[in-house]
Amino acid sequence: MELLHVTFIGGDSGGWRLTGTPFRIGEPLPAVGRIAMVEGRVAGGIWKLRGVTSNARYVNRAERDTLRAAQAGLGRPEATCAALIPIAKSPAWWELAQDERRAIFEDRSQHVAATLRFLPAIARRLHHSRDLGEPFDFLTWFEYAPEHAAMFDELVGLLRATEEWQYVIREVDLRLERD
């Protein structure tokens, strides 16, 4: 489980073309036409968001095994749609203890249980940003085929209705299409 440092570069180059920003909480990001997802630290672009794939913070062993068995990897040829959703949670969230955050995340918001049925159609990779001193706490990257676009809207709509999302103070839903 190697940690992967990833930079998302918003600008006018990169393999993913912005098709829309259907949802936002808080301050927007400067407008860009394209996003590149690259490994490591890089220069260029209008904005850059950095994150690192790290150990999961909330899922228990059973949930993790279920997720691993069900999930698809990135880069499937048919998955020509993507979404980059940077999120920041409130100071009140980070002030909670581990058991309180876990209770909101899964026991009451069912972040895992309620979203399992979207796998493997929707592939997902989570990047942690908060400890890196970044403006967002997480950068989640999703990939899916065009025929699953409505399913993806259902997934994010479901999460945004949870108790967990009451702690989200900034979110930008960037939808993308691969060239």
**Binding stretches for a copy of itself (CB under 8 A):** 1, 3, 5, 52, 54-61, 63-64, 91, 94-100, 102, 128, 130-133
Outline where DSSP puts E strands in the chain: 5-11, 16-25, 34-39, 47-52, 81-89, 123-128, 138-144, 168-178
* CB of 16 or CB of 93, closer to a copy of itself: 93
The nearest distance, CB 99 to a copy of itself, in angstroms, is 4
Cα–Cα distance, 52 to 75 (Å, whole number) = 18
- Beta bridge partners of residue 178, listed in sequence order: 16
9-to-22, 30, 31, 76, 144 alpha-carbon distances in Å: 20, 12, 12, 21, 20
Q: How far is the CB of 59 from a copy of itself (least distance, A)?
A: 6
Q: Which is nearer to a copy of itself, 99 or 179 (CB)?
A: 99
Structure tokens at 27: 């301050």
Smallest distance from a copy of itself to CB 146, Å = 34
* Other CB atoms within 10 A of residue 76 CB: 13
Closer CB to a copy of itself, 5 or 160, in the complex? 5
Smallest distance, a copy of itself to C-beta of residue 61, A: 4
**Which residue lies nearer to a copy of itself by CB, 2 or 179?**
2
Taking the least distance from each CB to a copy of itself, the nearer of 21 and 110 is 110
CB of 113 to a copy of itself, least distance (A): 15
Residue type, 11: G
